[in-house]
Amino acid sequence: MFYHAFDGYMEHAFPHDELKPLSCEGEDTLGGYALTLIDSLDTLALLGDRERFTDSVEWIGKNLRFDINKTVSVFETTIRILGGLLSAHLIASDYNTGMRVPSYDGELLDLAEDLARRMLPAFDTPTGTHATGIPFGSVNLIHGVDENESKITSTAGGGTLTLEFGMLSRLTNDPIFEQVTKNAVMGIWARRSKINLVGAHIDVFSGEWTQKDAGIGTSIDSFYEYLLKAYLLFGDEEYIFIFQEAYRAAMHYLYNDPWYVEVNMNSAALVWPLFNSLQAFWPGLQVLAGDIEPAIRTHAAFFSVWKRYGFTPEGFNLATLSVQRGQKSYPLRPELIESTYWLYKATQDPRYLDAGRDMLASLQYGARCTCGYCHISDVEFHIQEDHMESFFLAETVKYLWLLFDLGAGPDNLIENGPYKYIFSTEGHLLPMTPQISLVREHCLYFGAYCRSSNLRLETNISGIAKKPGETNHSKTYSCPGPTCSLSRFTPQSSPAISGLVKGYCPGLTHGQRFGIKYAASADANLQDKSPTQRPADVVQSHSLVLVSNHNADQVDHVKHQDSSVEGSVVAQGEEKQQGKLIELFEGR
Ligand code: DMJ
């Protein structure tokens, strides 16, 4: 499947963005820069296709440029292009992956950084928790935000950027990317309703919700996904705290076992009794969150829709149990297959291999066409349409392959490679290397190691079209010596941090390293109380970490203490403490 579609694209469409698989031509749908090739890179690596992976990485390094006068979607460009470049960079530059490209010298990372800087002007809005806000939906890669650009964006569009931008910060040592995307998430979350739901569309200037339907599918889906995954990848506990609240509210107000509905974000009144195909990622997310029982039931319900039509329509009406008018298409989406993979991985129940085989058969018999795979414009009549989205190769085929490869015995980069991987919402492989998962901690310690010494990072978020010094929005982050200090990552952006540890400390959880834990499961009674009746953040305990020797690489002593002594520091035992007691206890 992969090679029929990939070779079809390379032969008939490359370097255009996407393949028209019936007419065997190319089309530019995002920026005109070989989108499908970039989106396919890590699938090539996963399949072990060294030759095509190497050729592709080399071609992109030599030929791709982003100084083009195109206005592009910030969300799509981030998840497809930025994510594709970053995952391929991390594979091509690392011997441990078995796919290192000998000639590779960081070209993809440079391109990713250039692209991300060109998108920074989109964040120049007043709706964040700090100086930047929820981004515009689109940005011009040369001129910044167009004068007439819409101020309305979707929740998913503004809140699904943290993984790719956060990775970039950790790879470049420039915190700006991580900060602007976190500000955007915080800006959205700050405008949640009293019952912890978010709407679908928001005005990035006024912060008003312009579409107040809350759900887990269209326009919102990956907002939830990135809350959990940003925590898993970066260990930033603010994200898990928000995820827990958001997830609890979704299960309380949107879950109608086994389906999910859309409700008004304020009143929880039912708006749409509709299954939409983007919702099908949710059981997979629930596996990651450890909530498998409801995931199994929901997956079975969603799969029954697939079985009925041979594909999932974009919308299926739960009241009439029929395809929603105007939502009859299946554009080769991956979500149900993605959840099938996760549930098989969690349960090893062969029913998920059967489901995968059914879906594969539908694609082979219903969607395979002359030069690739075709969108289905009507799932009832299986009418093929002349378009193939790049995510077919980035996600749909990748998750199918992972499912069956796991069934055959786990022997691939994901299942037994050198790192644990988080999948981006576009299915890109984001490895949990120490540099990515822990570098932020390093930069928080006194005496922390920073890759570039004597860093002085001057980042200008809207300076793409301006000369240095001309912008109103330049930001300076300084790191005055050969070491980084707290100033690089402002404490305000990480209120959960209360204790800091020097070194990698692989034996400690993030909770122990950061010295705080949030209640993992809600008191059931809390759900029925109004937000004002609920306690603020429920702190179970604090950890206190003492580092005895400023220069030592090990943690000498770890003590836990009850939250009743919050705000105080107790150095217990070990008179041998010679060096510094690192005491950074903000208290909450
Ligand atoms: C992909 O681009 C991503 O999975 C995104 O999160 C949702 N839409 C498509 C796949 O359906």
Active site residue 221: yes
The reported pLDDT for the residue numbered 556 is 32
Across the range 302-311, mean pLDDT stands at 98
The reported pLDDT for the residue numbered 250 is 98
Catalytic residue among 17, 18, 42, 76: 76
Q: Could you tell me how many helices (H) and strands (E) the chain has, helices first?
A: 20, 26
Cis peptide before 258 (omega within 30 of 0): yes
Cis peptide before 495 (omega within 30 of 0): no
3-class SS at 370? coil
Task: Say which amino acid occupies 480.
Answer: P
Catalytic residue among 107, 314, 338, 385: 314
Q: Which H or E run contains 373?
A: none
CA 160 to chain centre: 6
Could you count the other beta carbons within 10 Å of the beta carbon of residue 408? 10
Ligand 1, closest atom to CA 76? Answer: 2
Question: What residue owns the CA closest to ligand 1's atom 2?
Answer: 426
Percent of the chain with pLDDT over 90: 72
Task: Say which amino acid occupies 126.
Answer: P
Across the range 206-219, mean pLDDT stands at 98
Question: What residue owns the CA closest to ligand 1's atom 6?
Answer: 425
Question: What residue owns the CA closest to ligand 1's atom 1?
Answer: 426
The reported pLDDT for the residue numbered 465 is 34
Alpha-carbon distances, residue 315 vs 87, 273, 391 (angstroms): 32, 10, 19
530-535, Cβ contacts within 8 angstroms, sequence gap of 24 or more? 530/194, 531/194, 531/195, 531/196
Active site residue 27: no
pLDDT tens digits for range 452-469: 433 333 334 443 333 333
- Residue 350 CA, ligand 1 centroid: distance in Å: 26
- Please name the residues in contact with 344: beta carbons below 8 A apart, sequence gap of 6 or more: 352, 353, 356, 403, 406, 407
The DSSP line for 180-202 is HHHHHHHHHHHT--TTS---SEE
pLDDT tens digits for range 34-51: 999 999 999 999 999 999
pLDDT tens digits for range 92-111: 999 999 999 999 999 999 99
Q: Is the pLDDT of residue 561 over 50?
A: no
pLDDT tens digits for range 522-554: 333 434 344 333 333 333 333 334 343 333 333
Q: Is the pLDDT of residue 303 over 60?
A: yes
Q: Is the pLDDT of residue 319 over 90?
A: yes
Q: Evaluate: CB of 282 within 6 angstroms of ligand 1.
A: no
Across the range 167-186, mean pLDDT stands at 96
| 129 — pLDDT class (breaks 50, 70, 90) | confident
Q: Is the pLDDT of residue 587 over 80?
A: no
Average pLDDT, the chain: 81
Across the range 165-192, mean pLDDT stands at 96
3-class SS at 143? coil
pLDDT tens digits for range 222-253: 999 999 999 999 999 999 999 999 999 999 99
| 396 — pLDDT class (breaks 50, 70, 90) | very high
Active site residue 55: no
Q: Evaluate: CB of 276 within 6 angstroms of ligand 1.
A: no
Catalytic residue among 17, 238, 335, 338: 335
The reported pLDDT for the residue numbered 459 is 38
The reported pLDDT for the residue numbered 535 is 38
pLDDT tens digits for range 429-449: 999 998 888 644 544 444 333
In DSSP terms, 270 is beta-bridged to 263
